[in-house]
Amino acid sequence: MRIYVGNLKYSVTDDELRDMFSDFGDVASADVIKDKFSGQSKGFGFVDMPNNSEAEDAIKALHDSMNDGRKLTVNEARPRTERPPR
């Protein structure tokens, strides 16, 4: 299951994001999304967990939890929608 994690502190790394979820089970990948020009974090990321029940447990436990003074938004990621060209 792909999980969206929002309202992250801009200094959070991929490894720190992985560590947040590893207590709940196997983490296939954890990626903090960065601006492609500046390399600065955009304050959100995605975590892939192969076991859906572990992923659901992580979502329930971490949604609205505090991390470095910020209230996290954690839910199942929605598929990306097509956007019109600029």
Give the domain CATH number at 20.
3.30.70.330
In a domain, 82, yes or no: no
Residue 48 Cα distances to 2, 16, 72, 84, angstroms: 5, 14, 17, 27
Residue 61 lies in a domain: yes
What proportion of the chain, given as a percentage, has pLDDT over 70? 100
pLDDT score of 86: 81
Q: At what angle do helices 14-22 and 52-62 cross, to 10 degrees?
A: 100
Entry pTM:
0.91
Does pLDDT of 21 surpass 90?
yes
Could you list the residue range(s) of the whole structural domain that residue 7 is in? 2-75
Residue 10 pLDDT: 95
Q: Is the pLDDT score of 80 beyond 90?
A: no
Q: Give the whole-angstrom CA distance, residue 29 versus residue 31.
A: 7
Beta bridge partners of 29: 48
> Which one-letter DSSP state was computed for residue 61?
H
Q: Is the pLDDT of residue 28 over 90?
A: yes
Is 86 part of any domain?
Answer: no
Work out how many domains the chain is built from and give that number: 1
